[in-house]
Amino acid sequence: MTKTPGGAGQSPAGPRKSEWETGPYLFAGLALELSGSLSIALGAAGIANDAIFRTAQYVYRFDLTAWGWIHVVVGIGLIAAGLGVLAGRSWGRGAGVALGAASLISQFMFIPYYPLWSISVMTLDLMAIWALSRFSEP
């Protein structure tokens, strides 16, 4: 009878991670990637044609080109953080929470311009933040 290297439940490369350990991080990484992609698409639309978004007087009123650049920069950061989470980098989790929070705030402030889009991206951000902050390190 042969014994597997590393003992029971371990592969030759080291201990295997259960679905419970990797599932939330896979979800969070993919949610950050999707949120980042949607933020970049929204930002590109605002930069290319800021006449797309109109609203009445609004407290957080910026030039829509400025909003576009804010969303593009946050979106690029979200994609980088998502890649860090998916790759299992030590900085990915903290960056994902921080950039998810920044995206959440920027989308909240953008609700009067494009409510359904903003609320959808905010939902992704909240779920990613929850997954990254709720579960222990894999």
| pLDDT, position 58 | 64
CA atoms within 13 A on the CB side of 85: 34
| pLDDT, position 17 | 57
Is residue 22 included in any domain, yes or no? no
Length of the chain: 138
| pLDDT, position 56 | 60
Is residue 104 included in any domain, yes or no? yes
Is residue 4 included in any domain, yes or no? no
| pLDDT, position 132 | 92
Domains: count for the chain: 1
Tell me the one-letter amino acid at 37.
S
Domain that holds residue 69: 33-51+58-134
pLDDT in tens, 121-132: 999 999 999 999
Is residue 10 included in any domain, yes or no? no
Q: Which regions of the chain are under pLDDT 50?
A: 1, 3-4, 7, 9, 20
Nearest to 130 by CA among 35, 28, 38: 28
